[in-house]
Amino acid sequence: MNLKPQDYGVRTPYAGDLESVPLDLVKVSGQQYTEHGELETLDEQYVPSHIFEAYVRMNDAFMAEHPIRKLLVQSCYRSPAYQIVVFINWLINGYRGDIARTIRHVSPPNYSQHTIASKAAIDFKNIDGRPSDDNPDDFKTSVEYAWLRQHGSEFSFYESWPEGNEVGMRAEPWHWQYRP
Ligand SMILES: [Zn+2]
């Protein structure tokens, strides 16, 4: 809980004081996409209801222009406890106990925009499976990314880490924070 990215040479900005786990989380399930010709289904995701409402309005507007496409929720709210589980999993199974390397990949709860419920970020995916695991940057050339750049702010979604951002975070074109 008390790890600070700056102690390990990472400039991840403080995401906010922790909030209690919302009681109105909306479970999003059955989201499908196609990758390498195979139909895949995303794991269940949880979205605070006020953010879910904004997301639905935004996705409706997107689909009005692109009827056969969809903005899928790859990840949204993660409780502080769950974020710690994710961190420890990467620490043990991905980075052999090396905190400095882990913290470049996963943020502690206070530094993750996915754990602060009132302004949780959504990681989007499209129906073609972008961003893909092997080449996440492929989201940058998607129809969805171009549309989000143009219209995301109309629905209070903002790209947190654009290319060349001032805090030196790796670009994450799929990661959009809800900022009412
Ligand atoms: Zn994210």
> DSSP 3-state assignment of 41?
strand
Q: Note the pTM of the prediction, 2 decimals.
A: 0.94
How many structural domains comprise the chain?
1
> DSSP 3-state assignment of 111?
helix
CA of 49 to the centre of ligand 1 (A): 18
The predicted pLDDT at position 166 comes to 85
CATH code at 69? Answer: 3.30.1380.10
CA of 114 to the centre of ligand 1 (A): 6
Give the angle subtended at the CA of 43 by the CAs of 41 and 48, to the nearest 5°: 125
Domain residue limits at 73: 5-178
Q: How many whole angstroms separate alpha carbon 145 and alpha carbon 136?
A: 12
Residues with beta carbon < 5 A to ion ligand 1? 123, 175
CA–CA distances in Å: residue 169 to residues 7, 25, 28, 88, 146: 16, 28, 28, 21, 20
At 147-178, the pLDDT tens digits run 999 999 999 999 999 999 888 788 999 999 99
Residue corresponding to tokens 């209690």? 20
The predicted pLDDT at position 120 comes to 98
The predicted pLDDT at position 168 comes to 79
The predicted pLDDT at position 170 comes to 83
CA of 121 to the centre of ligand 1 (A): 6
> DSSP 3-state assignment of 118?
helix
How large is the average pLDDT for residues 16-42?
Answer: 96
Q: How many whole angstroms separate alpha carbon 74 and alpha carbon 10?
A: 25
CA of 123 to the centre of ligand 1 (A): 5
The predicted pLDDT at position 152 comes to 98
- Which residues are paired to 122 by β-bridges? 176
Q: Is 173 exposed, middle or buried (0-12, 13-18, 19+ CB in 10 A)?
A: buried
Asked if the model's pLDDT at residue 134 lies above 90, the reply is no
The predicted pLDDT at position 169 comes to 81
